[in-house]
């Protein structure tokens, strides 16, 4: 560059401009190219490499996380180099674009695509029809595999979902109620105890355990051995010690649908900690004067609890309750690993999995998914309403 300074003045500005412009254009082109090449090479390496597992893990993590960061940086760089009005207009979309695109791909469009797929028979969409087929609606109707609402009729008449719906109702009622009651009980007790932190940690701990792990744990509770042999499951050992006969509690058809309760207990065990934390925070938010006033007026502790505490944390109870209801509606892992949905323990999500992936009946599977979606629509509306009220967006 020092040499350039000696060149004739008029040329200097021009040449420098051209060089700068070329340089910029080159960078604007080459950096994204290098970035994309690096990302692509990483992908190929991960897909085809026979490198040791730990190396793949390290590369995958760096590639995955770094790749996305790189993309943001590159796109932002390109947009910032654009002339002013455009860079200002486009930059928000660099920021918000990836999130919107991914949400559209993974959640918004699937609602519509699954809804459409649910109108076809087990073969799914006829050949040559993309998943965006509604734009070619008349032709699709002529195809053999379009069955209209037949899948939904089948679901409710062929007993595909009746058991599952009944069980899900049990999950919702007992799962959420027991979680809320246990959560509240622990929160109230711990609030008055010196061992608050320790006890809360213990109750909260199962939240870190996977459903599959929890299933293993609870198999040690429910395991059954023939009568007369030593029981290695705790529940049956207690039953036998008390003079009863051992039973496969969660797989005991004779007590269906109540065997579902033994599965529900597992999830209550996992989830009560969640409810407890929120209740505990809410209880601490109740003004002390309010409770004191009640006590001075001669209310017993039970009256204080029901007349003052419960009404004060009503909002939190509703939030926790809805969260757990949505959650239990989608319950899958525990049931799938413990019983595979047999013995009358199918729920909507296991039935969905069975139909979609085991029985390869995408039509019925999709229709079940839509029913699951319809079940959460009230919550969605409630959410949006809440959002509109509290936000001056």
Partner 1 sequence: MKKNQWLSTVLVNGALILLVLFWSIPTIGLFVSSFRNRFDIQTSGWWTIVPHRAWETVTVLDPKELGLDSKSIMQVEGVEGTFEELRQGVTSPDGDTQVKWVGNRRLGRIEVQERVWTANWDFTLENYKQVLFGRDTEITRTDGTVTTVPGQDMTQAFLNSLTVAIPSTIIPILIAAFAAYAFAWMRFPGRRWLFIMVVGLLVVPLQIALVPILSDYQKLGLNGTFLAIWLAHTGFGLALATYLLYNYISTLPRETLESAFIDGASHFTVFTRLVLPLSVPALASFAIFQFLWVWNDYLVALVFLGVDPNNKVVTQRLADLTGTFGNAWHLLTAGAFISMLLPLIVFIGLQRFFVRGLLAGSVKG
Residue list 275-334, contact with partner 1 (CB under 8 A)? 277-278, 281-282, 301, 315-316, 319-320, 323, 326, 329-330, 332-333
| Region for 126 from its dihedrals, namely left if φ exceeds 0, alpha if ψ lies in -120 to 50, beta otherwise | beta
Interactions with partner 1, residue window 220-249 (CB under 8 A): 220-221, 228, 230-234, 237
For residues 108 and 100, what is the distance between their CA atoms, to the nearest angstrom? 10
Taking CB under 8 A as the criterion, the residue among 120, 146, 171, 336 binding partner 1 is 336
Residue 312 is encoded by which pair of tokens?
């004060």
Nearer to partner 1, 4 or 381 (CB): 381
Query: Minimum distance between the CB of residue 277 and partner 1, rounded to whole angstroms?
Result: 5
Residue 262 is encoded by which pair of tokens?
């033994």
Interactions with partner 1, residue window 140-199 (CB under 8 A): 182, 185-186, 189-190, 192-195, 198-199
Residue 273 is encoded by which pair of tokens?
């900690």
For residues 165 and 197, what is the distance between their CA atoms, to the nearest angstrom? 39
Tell me the per-residue interface mask from 94 to 133 with partner 1, x by CB under 8 A, - otherwise: -xx-xxx-xx-xxxxxxx-xx--x-------------x--
Interactions with partner 1, residue window 42-71 (CB under 8 A): 43, 46-47, 53-54, 56-57, 60-61, 64-65, 68-69
Interactions with partner 1, residue window 347-366 (CB under 8 A): 349, 352-353, 356-357, 362, 365-366
Question: Tokens 């070329």, residue?
Answer: 22
- The CB-based long-range contact list for 91-98 (8 Å cut-off, 24+ gap) reads 98/68, 98/71, 98/72
Residue 182 is encoded by which pair of tokens?
């246990």
Query: Minimum distance between the CB of residue 63 and partner 1, rounded to whole angstroms?
Result: 8
Query: Measuring CA to CA, which residue among 178, 188, 369, 198 is closest to residue 269?
Result: 178
Query: Minimum distance between the CB of residue 15 and partner 1, rounded to whole angstroms?
Result: 29
Helices (H), 149-175: 150-157, 162-170
Query: Minimum distance between the CB of residue 83 and partner 1, rounded to whole angstroms?
Result: 15
Residue 280 is encoded by which pair of tokens?
């505990």
Query: Minimum distance between the CB of residue 13 and partner 1, rounded to whole angstroms?
Result: 25
């Amino acid at each position: 560059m020092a040499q350039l300074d000696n060149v004739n003045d008029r040329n200097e500005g021009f040449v420098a401009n051209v060089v700068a412009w070329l340089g910029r254009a080159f960078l604007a082109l080459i950096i994204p190219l290098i970035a994309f090449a690096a990302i692509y090479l990483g992908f190929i390496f991960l897909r085809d490499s026979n490198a040791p597992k730990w190396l793949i893990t390290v590369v995958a993590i760096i590639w995955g996380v770094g790749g996305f960061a790189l993309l943001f940086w590159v796109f932002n760089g390109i947009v910032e180099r654009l002339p002013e009005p455009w860079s200002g207009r486009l930059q928000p979309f660099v920021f918000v674009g990836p999130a919107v695109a991914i949400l559209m791909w993974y959640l918004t469009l699937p609602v519509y695509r699954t809804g459409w797929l649910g109108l076809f028979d087990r073969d799914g969409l006829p050949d040559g029809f993309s998943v965006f087929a509604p734009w070619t609606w008349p032709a699709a109707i002529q195809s053999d595999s379009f069955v209209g609402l037949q899948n939904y009729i089948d679901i409710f008449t062929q007993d595909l979902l009746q058991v599952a719906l009944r069980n899900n109702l049990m999950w919702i009622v007992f799962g959420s109620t027991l979680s809320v009651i246990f959560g509240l009980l622990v929160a109230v007790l711990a609030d008055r105890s010196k061992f608050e932190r320790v006890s809360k940690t213990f109750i909260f701990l199962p939240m870190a355990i996977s459903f599959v792990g929890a299933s293993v744990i609870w198999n040690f509770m429910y395991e059954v051995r023939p009568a007369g042999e030593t029981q290695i499951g705790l529940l049956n050992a207690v039953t036998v010690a008390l003079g009863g006969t051992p039973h496969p509690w969660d797989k005991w058809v004779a007590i269906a649908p109540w065997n579902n309760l033994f599965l529900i207990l597992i999830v209550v065990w996992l989830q009560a900690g969640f409810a407890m934390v929120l209740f505990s925070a809410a209880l601490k938010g109740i003004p002390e004067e309010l409770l004191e006033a009640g006590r001075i007026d001669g209310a017993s502790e039970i009256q204080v609890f029901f007349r003052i505490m419960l009404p004060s944390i009503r909002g939190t109870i509703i939030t926790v309750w809805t969260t757990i209801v949505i959650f239990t509606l989608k319950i899958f892992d525990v049931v799938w690993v413990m019983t595979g949905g047999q013995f009358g323990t199918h729920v909507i999500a296991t039935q969905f999995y069975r139909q979609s992936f085991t029985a390869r009946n995408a039509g019925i599977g999709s229709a079940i998914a839509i029913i699951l979606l319809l079940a959460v629509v009230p919550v969605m509306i409630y959410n949006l309403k809440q959002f509109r009220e509290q936000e001056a967006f």
